[in-house]
Amino acid sequence: MAGKIGVYFDMQNIGGGLDVEALAAQTREKWGELVPVVKTCPVLACAAEEIKADITDKELDGVLLCGASFRAECDACRLPVQVEHVNLREQCVLSYKNADGSPPDFSAGAPEDLAAMARDYVNMGVVKLQKSELSDSAAVAGIARVLVIGGGVSGLAAAAEAAATGYEVVLVEKSGQLGGAAVNIPVTSPLAPDWTDKQSANLNMKISAVTGNPGITVYLDAQMRTLSGQPGEFRATIATGQGPVSVEVGAVVLATGWKALDDKYLAPMGLGRLPLVVSAAQFGKMLLAGNVSARRIAFVLDTTLAEDAARETAPAEAGEAGKPAGAEAEEPVEKFVKEDLENIRHLAYSNAVNSVGMLRLANSVCEQTGDATQAFILYKNMTVPGILERFYKKMQDRPGIMMTRADVTAVRDGGGHLVVECKNTLLGMDFDLEVDLVVLPTGMVPTTAKEAVVQFDYRQGPDFPDLRLVDGFADSNYICFPYETRRTGVYAAGCVRQPMTMDACEEDARGAVLKAAQCIEAASRGVAVHPRSGDASYPVFNFVRCTQCKRCTEECPFGALDDDEKGTPKPNPARCRRCGTCFGACPERVISFANYNIDQIGSMIREVVVPRDFRKGGPRILILACENDAYPALDMAGMRGRAWNPYVRIIPVRCLGSVNAIWVSDAMSKGFDGVMLLGCKYGDDYQCHFVKGSEICARRKENIAETLNRLGVQPERVEQLEVAIDEYDKVPALIDGFVGRIMDMGPNPFKGM
Amino acid sequence: MAQYTLKPDMSFARELQEAGGDSLKRCYQCATCAVACPLAPANAPYPRKEMVWASWGLKDKLMRDADLWLCHNCGNCSDLCPRGARPADTMAAARNMIYKELTEPSIVGRWMSGASGLPYLFLIPAVLWLLIWSIRAACRGSWFPRAADGRIVFGEIFYGDYTIDPVFMITFFGVCFILYRGVRKLWKMFKPEGELLVIGKRKSWICHLVGVLTDEVVTHRKFDDCENGPATGKAAANRKFGHMLLVYSFIILAFVTAVVALGHWGGKIIPAIEIHTPMPLTFPIKILANIGALLMLCGLAALTWRRVSLDRANHASSFYDWYLLGIIWLVAATGILSQSFRLADALKPAFVAYYFHLVFVWMLFAYLPWSKLGHFVYRTAALVYVRMYGRS
C-alpha cells in the first residue's frame, strides 16, 4: 500500500487547454495527506533528479506520472519506488472530441467534458497506486542444468550450445543412437555460407562433440517418465535401460523431431500402388546405394491429389473416431488418452522442407549421372526458406533439372513407365510427362502429435494443451514468442515446432537454448520470463476463503497451478506468466497480485464521477482494455488524431482473462451505463498474448449476462469487442458504436441508487 | 485422358546454351521480361514463355515460334531480369539455331555456328576465285595485267561476262531458292496444328509485305519502340542509327549493282545505256556507290562500337553477331582498298584487295541463309506472317 504518493504533471505532454494547475490543486485537495508532493514539471523527462530527491526527502513510496501513455515513456524514469502513469495525452486530450461529435475548440481552455475526464483519470491513478505494493520475491534455486529431449540435429545442437553457454546438460534420446532423422541424410542442403552447395551433414563430428563433452550426460534408449516442479527447479524422471533416473533441471529444450506421415496418405498418388512411385526417403536410400537407374524422374511437390482424397475420406473417419471417444466418456476415472493428431495437412506444412529436399535429391541424381538424367520438379509452391534461395538458384542452373509449377492431376502406369498428368503449367499448356520414376514428398508429423513426449506431472495433464489447434506442433504464439510452448520453461526447437531444414534446426536449437537460459535466470530472480519479462509480481492466494472450486487450476492457460486432493490450489510462481486469468476466474476473489488486484481495479471504477442525470451530464462507459493489443491500438489512434466519445473511461488490464465479474457489478452499481471489454481476437487464429484470455473472458461474459438479467439490467450493456494491435483506425468507430447503442438503451436503471 | 506428351530434349537446351543462351536456366518465370518488352503483345507475350521452353528443351515449340522474330533484340528484358537470365540472348540464340538448321545443305549451318567452321567457309570462295584468277592469268600471260591504255582494270582478270556475273548470278538465284524454301518451311512451322480460322477480310501476303517494308523496315519504327521501352536505368547506345545507315547503304549498293548490271547487259542491246567499268569518280552512279560505301563504314562503326560497349553482364555477343559484323567490315574494307589502290595505281595490291573483296562478298551473300544476315528475310517473313494472322 503506497501511503505517500508524489504526483507529477508533465506540462509538455498535456495540451488541450487543460488547466494543469487546477488539476494539481484538485488532487491536493481531494487526497490531502496521501499526496505530500504534487508538482507540475515543464518537461517530466528532465525532472528525474528532482523526483528522486523528493523520494528521499519526503519518503515517497509511490510516484504518479501524469502525461503521456505508459507505453510512450516507460524508460524516462527508472525510480526505486512504485511508479504509475496517467495517460492524459493519447487517451485523453489527443483522442478528445465533443459529445456531439464536433471537433473541440481549445482556444477558450479545456471543455468541461475533457476536464472531467482528466480529473477522473488522475484520481483513478492515485487510487491505483494507493492499492498497490511491491511484491515479495518468488525466487527459486535456478538450477543451472538444461534437459534436452531428443538427440537429433536440433537436440545435439541444443546440447552443445547449452554446454558452451555454461550449463550442465542432460540429453535424453529415445532410440539407441544419436542423430535422429539425419542418420539417413549424410549429405544435406547447405548449412553454411555461401549457401549454394550441398554439404556433408557431419553428423559424427556433431555426435562426438556432444558425447565427448564432460558437461553433457547422454541417456540413450531413454524416455521421459515425468516432469514435475517448476522452471528453475524442475524434477525430471527419465526411464532408462538401467531403471529410472531422477535429475533436477532448470529448463527443458524439447527437440523430439518428427515422424514420417503414414504412406497411406500418399496412396492416391501411387505410393504402394505403383512400383515406380517411391517416397523421398526411399529414393534417398536408393541413391545412397547407387540403385537409381531411371533417367527420367518426376519429383512431385504438388500433393493436391492426396489432399483431395484425404478430404473426401475425412468425414467418414471422423465418424468412426467419434464412437470410442463416447464410450470412454462413460468411464468413471478420467485417464489420459493421447489423441493422434497426424493428418494430411502435415504434408502441406512440410512443403518448404520438401522443396529444398527435392532440389537436393534432384541435384544428387543429376550429379551421379553427369546430367544425363532428366529431373522434373513439379511444384505447386516452390518454397525455399530464406537464404536457401541461393541453393535454389544454383540448382536451377543445373542442366538436368527442369521445374514448373503444375497441378498434377494423375500419376498412372504407362506400361514400363509412368505418366504424370500436368495441368496449369508455366509452359502454357497441359501435358503428360513420361517418366521412369516418381518421387513423392514426406509429410513431417511432429512427435508431439503422436504422443505426450514430456509427460508433465501437472494438474492439467501430461501433454501440452490444445495441440489440435496447431495440428500437434509444440508451438503456441510463434510470431511473438518463438520456442515458447504452453508450458513455461519448456522450449521447443526444430521439427517438433515446425518442419524445417537442417540449418534452420541448428539455429532454432540455439534460440531455444537462449530462451532456456533466460528462463533459468529469470526463475532465480523470481521474475516472469515472457511475455511480461521482468514482472516480479505473482498470484497470491488467500486460502482462508478458498472454496476449492478448481476454476483457477483448470483455467490457467499455462498449467501453472497444481492442486492437492481436496482441490486447494498449489501455485508455482515460476511457471506463471502473470496474466491474471486465475483471479479473473475466482468467484471468491481470493487471488491477487501485489500490484494488481480485484479491489484495486474496483476502487478505480468507483473513483469515476458519474453524473446523476444521464441526459445532462452524459452517460459513463467503462472500457476494460487489454494492455497488450487494445491499449496500444487506442494509443495509436490518439496519436493519429482519431477521437472517440468523451464519456468513456479506459482502464488497462493485463489480459481480458483477468477480468473478474465483480468489476462489471462494481461499474453497474456505480452507475456506469455500459461496460466494454476490448481485447484480442480469439478462436483458431487467436492473437491473445496469453492464448486463452479473451476466449475465457467471452465465456465468462455469458454468466455475467445472466446475472445482469436477474438484476433487471439489460445484458447488452456489457459487450466484448475484438481488436488487433494494428486496427487503430477501427477502434474509435467501435467505441462510438457501443456508446450509440447505450444511448439508445437509456440510462442504467441503477444510476443514482 | 490422353493429352499432349511432352518430350524434353536436353541436347537441344545444351545446343541453345552454346549458341549464346548460356544463362537460360536461370529463369524463374517471374515474367518481368514479358512486361518489360515494349514490343510483346498483350496476349501470350514473349519472352517469358520462350525461356521456359528453352530450359525444358522444347525444340518443337521454340522453333515454331513466330514471336522469336518479333523481338528486335533491344535487350530491355535482359537489363531488367532479376536473375540475370538474359532472355534477349536466349531469343537470339534460338534465332541462331534457326539459321543453323532451317535450310539445306545443313553442313553450312554447322560450319557457320562456330569459329571452327570458318576456314571451310573461307576456303570455298578463296579457291574458287583463285582458280578463276589463275585461268585468266594463264590466258592473259600475267597475274597482274594492265589494260591496253595502262590503267588498272579489274575486268582484265575478273572479266564480268564470263567470271563475276555467272558466279554471282548462280549464287544469287541459288540463295533465293534456298531462302524461298526456308521461308516456306518457316511459315509452315508457324502455322498451328489444325485449322486456322481467320475472321474478316484477308489481304494477299504481298500487301502485307509492302506494309512491313514501308511501315517497319524503311522507318525502323520498331527500333524506336524499343528505345521507348521502360527505363532500365542502364545506359544503352542507340541501335537505330547504325542499323539504319547500314540498311540504307545496302539498298544504295544494291541499286548501284543493279544499275551497273543493267547498263552492262542492257548496253549490249541498247548502246545508249551502256556503262563501262571502271566508272570515273565523277560519274553519278560512282558517286552514289561511294556514298553507299561511306554510309556502310559509318553504320558499321556505330554498330561495332555499340556491341563492344555492351554490358557483358547482361548482354553477350555470339559468334553469329561477330561473323556478320566482321564480314561486312571486310567487304567494305576490301572494296574501298581495291578502289583506292586502283586509283593510286598500285597494281599488285589492287588486284589482291579486289580478289579478297570478291571472296568476302561471295561469303556474305552465299552464306546468307545460315548467317545472322538471314534475319532480313526470316524476320520480314515472320512479320508478314503475323500481319496476315493479326498478331502484332
Per-residue pLDDT for A331 more than 60?
no
What pLDDT digit, counting tens, does each position of A463-484 carry? Answer: 999 898 889 999 767 667 889 9
Per-residue pLDDT for A321 more than 60?
no
Nearest CA among B158, B111, B108 for reference residue B130: B158
Q: What is the C-alpha to C-alpha distance for residues A424 and A212, in angstroms, rounded to an integer?
A: 54
What pLDDT digit, counting tens, does each position of A153-174 carry? Answer: 999 999 999 999 999 999 999 9
Q: What is the C-alpha to C-alpha distance for residues A160 and B145, in angstroms, rounded to an integer?
A: 94
Q: What is the C-alpha to C-alpha distance for residues A173 and A464, in angstroms, rounded to an integer?
A: 20
Could you give the ipTM of this predicted complex?
0.80
Query: Residue for cell digits 526444430?
Result: A494
With CA atoms as reference, the chain A residue closest to B12 would be A399
Q: What is the C-alpha to C-alpha distance for residues A747 and A743, in angstroms, rounded to an integer?
A: 7
Instruction: Give the DSSP per-residue string, A293-346.
Output: --SEEEEE---HHHHHHHHHHHHHHHHHHHHHHHHHHT-SS----------THH
Cβ within 8 Å, pair B55-A393: no
Per-residue pLDDT for A332 more than 80?
no
* Residue B207 or A233, more confident: A233
Contact A439, A302 (CB under 8 A): no
The pLDDT, as a whole number, for residue A316 is: 62
Lowest mean pLDDT among A248-262, B96-110, B321-335: B96-110
Any B CB within 8 A of A412 CB: no
CA distance A432 to chain B (A): 5
Q: Which three cell numbers stand for residue A199?
A: 554439404
Instruction: Give the DSSP per-residue string, A27-81.
Output: HHHHHGGG-SEEEEES-GGG-HHHHHHHHHHTT-SEEEEEES-TTTSTTT---SS
Please report which helix (H) or strand (E) contains residue A5, including its range.
Answer: strand A5-10
The pLDDT, as a whole number, for residue A328 is: 45
The pLDDT, as a whole number, for residue A596 is: 94
Q: Quick one: CA torsion of A695, A699, A704, A706, rounded to 10 degrees?
A: 160
What pLDDT digit, counting tens, does each position of A508-552 carry? Answer: 999 999 999 999 999 999 999 988 988 999 999 999 999 999 999
Nearest CA among A455, A473, A575, A491 for reference residue A155: A491
Any B CB within 8 A of A430 CB: yes
Parallel/antiparallel/unpaired status of strands A243-249 and A233-240: antiparallel
Q: Which residues of chain B make contact with A374, given a CB cutoff of 8 A?
A: 8, 10
Q: What is the C-alpha to C-alpha distance for residues A407 and A405, in angstroms, rounded to an integer?
A: 7
Q: What are the counts of helices (DSSP H) followed by strands (DSSP E) for chain B?
A: 18, 1
Please report which helix (H) or strand (E) contains residue A606, including its range.
Answer: helix A598-607
All structural domains of chain A = 1-134 (3.40.50.2300), 145-257+447-525 (3.50.50.60), 267-440 (3.50.50.60), 540-592 (3.30.70.20), 596-753 (3.40.50)
Q: Which residues of chain A make contact with B14, given a CB cutoff of 8 A?
A: 399
- pLDDT band for position A345 (cuts 50, 70, 90): very high
Strand partners for A445: A259
CA distance A732 to chain B (A): 42
- pLDDT band for position A324 (cuts 50, 70, 90): very low
Cβ within 8 Å, pair A432-B55: no
- pLDDT band for position A323 (cuts 50, 70, 90): very low
Cβ within 8 Å, pair A432-B25: no
Q: Which residues of chain B make contact with A405, given a CB cutoff of 8 A?
A: 29
Nearest CA among A482, A48, A427 for reference residue B62: A427
| CA distances for B266 relative to A87, A254, B258, B273, angstroms | 105, 99, 11, 7
Strand partners for A691: none
Greatest mean pLDDT among A138-142, A359-363, A475-479, B237-241 lies in A359-363
Most distant CA pair in chain B, distance: 84
CA distance A279 to chain B (A): 24
Helix runs in A369-456, H state only: 389-396, 447-450
The pLDDT, as a whole number, for residue B2 is: 58
Q: Work out the percent of chain B whose per-residue pLDDT is above 70.
A: 99
The pLDDT, as a whole number, for residue A594 is: 93
Pick A397's closest partner by Cβ from B4, B5, B26: B26
CA distance A348 to chain B (A): 22
What pLDDT digit, counting tens, does each position of B26-73 carry? Answer: 888 888 999 988 888 888 888 999 999 998 988 888 888 888 898 888
CA distance B69 to chain A (A): 20
| DSSP 8-state code for residue A494 | G
What pLDDT digit, counting tens, does each position of A393-411 carry? Answer: 999 888 899 999 999 999 9
Per-residue pLDDT for A75 more than 80?
no
Strand partners for A200: A187
Pick A426's closest partner by Cβ from B25, B29, B57: B29
Q: Which three cell numbers stand for residue B138?
A: 594463264
Cβ within 8 Å, pair B55-A402: yes
Q: Work out the percent of chain A whose per-residue pLDDT is above 90.
A: 76
The pLDDT, as a whole number, for residue A322 is: 44
Q: Work out the percent of chain A whose per-residue pLDDT is above 70.
A: 96
With CA atoms as reference, the chain A residue closest to B1 would be A421
Query: What value does the mean pLDDT take over residues A79-88?
Result: 92
The pLDDT, as a whole number, for residue B279 is: 83
What pLDDT digit, counting tens, does each position of A654-702 carry? Answer: 999 999 999 999 999 999 999 999 999 888 888 888 989 999 999 999 8
Residue from A196, A295, A397 to probe the interface with B (highest B Cβ count within 10 Å): A397
